Amino acid sequence: MKAALLLLFIQLITVISAAPTKSSSFRKKSKNNSKHPKHSKHSKDSSVVDVGVVSTDASSLLKIFSVPLSYNTTFAEPVVTIQVGNPPQNFTVLVDTLLTLEVAKLQVSKFFSASDTVSLGAGLDVSNATFGIAAGVQPEFLTEFDGILALGPIEATQGALLDGHLVKTVMDVAFETRAIEEEVVGISFSFPKSLDPEDSQNIGEVTFGGVDSALFCGNLKFTDRSNGSKFWAVDSQQVSLGNASLLTQTTLVLDTGTTRVLLPESAFQTYAQLSGATVDDNGNLHFTQDQVDQLFDLNFEIGGSVFSLPGNAQVFPQQLNAAPGFGNSSPDDILGVVGSSGTALESLVILGQGFLAQYYSAYDTENNQIGLDLSVNSINGCPSS
């Protein structure tokens, strides 16, 4: 179940959503009316207009709002600053495409309700957003950030309320009130270059109401969400390391709140054996530089396209080793981005930051699709034309 926004403030958590609504009111477009999201003003070439793409210098007319992302190295999470109320108060919130209300409730003891204006940044104001205020926050939730901006589909809120109604997300409210014209979120980020706080600022961007075509190399490849999934997930025909198959016919869940790429335990063990990495007692993979240099691409086949992580993208930047969110590791360690999701999730792969730092991702609620393309900030950059 998905909370639209979780704010922590003086021992309180607030969960921003709209008033409860029945699932029948959730607006979807049929596949026959499917269209690609509009691009923001940063389009690489304003003279080129693809099908369904609007390139213009007046992004405000398109109601597309781009907000800079920073990175919290303690929790290993991308964050943004939003405002609530009038006069507005600033809150630093984690950007999470997976966190559920069930998980959030584990951190608190009681919820209350309130409503106010939520400003997501860059002029995007969502009026009369109803949100919950929760008391009894776990202490670790009060240290580094003020809350969580959860951006999952409305279906993920199933069961959040006792009467069975779904809970509109903050993006649902923004779309229904025409604060945005398309219910699309685009996300791009990269890992910080160092642990210097300044290097953790402006490491990416979240775009509400469209996508920013200046941040991906070519064209977004859109794929329908997995049938029956409550989350942002797509079906994969195969996951492989080079030519060696690790999984077939599996589901990939995109999660900005997870640091690693998590494979089911059996696939993880096969990956570790093929890569030559050493697995420590905590399940971390340790590589030598020679092993990294010889790594085959880690491939994810999605809807006829293959999205690959080259060898040097299958390990975390060493400059982050000393960060709490990366285990306070030795500076000389070379840690793999692949981890195990255990035996309970044998049919799922979690594409966390290890994947999403290399690929621009777009979450299209209207068309029930996810778009991916290589990020301009990927470790090897865009391929030469």
For 193-228, write each residue's pLDDT tens digit. Answer: 999 999 999 999 999 999 999 999 999 999 999 998
Tell me: pLDDT of 102 over 90.
Answer: no
What is the C-alpha to C-alpha distance for residues 329 and 321, in angstroms, rounded to an integer? 5
pTM comes to 0.84
Q: For residue 98, give the nearest of 297, 313, 363, 299 by alpha carbon.
A: 363
- Phi-psi region for residue 36, left (φ > 0), alpha (ψ -120 to 50) or beta? beta
Sign of CA pseudo-dihedral 225, 342, 334, 282: positive
CB 30 within 8 A of CB 180: no
Which comes out higher in pLDDT, residue 334 or 105?
A: 334
pLDDT interval class at 114 (50, 70, 90): low
**CB burial class (10 A; 0-12, 13-18, 19+) of residue 303?**
middle
The predicted pLDDT at position 22 comes to: 31
Among the residues of 26-85, which ranges form H helices? Answer: 59-62
The predicted pLDDT at position 333 comes to: 94
The predicted pLDDT at position 134 comes to: 59
As a whole number, mean pLDDT of residues 47-66 equals: 47
CB 165 within 8 A of CB 14: no
Tens digit of each residue's pLDDT (9 = 90 or more) over 164-197: 667 777 888 899 999 999 999 999 999 999 999 9
CB 214 within 8 A of CB 43: yes
Which tokens is 24 given? 């029948």
Q: What is the DSSP string of 136-197?
A: ---GGGGSS-SEEEE---GGGGTTSSTT--EE--HHHHHHHTTSSSS-EEEEEE---SSSSG
Which tokens is 114 given? 């309130």
- The domains of the chain, with CATH numbers, are 5-208 (2.40.70.10), 216-374 (2.40.70.10)
As a whole number, mean pLDDT of residues 91-106 equals: 68
pLDDT interval class at 135 (50, 70, 90): low
What is the C-alpha to C-alpha distance for residues 378 and 359, in angstroms, rounded to an integer? 7
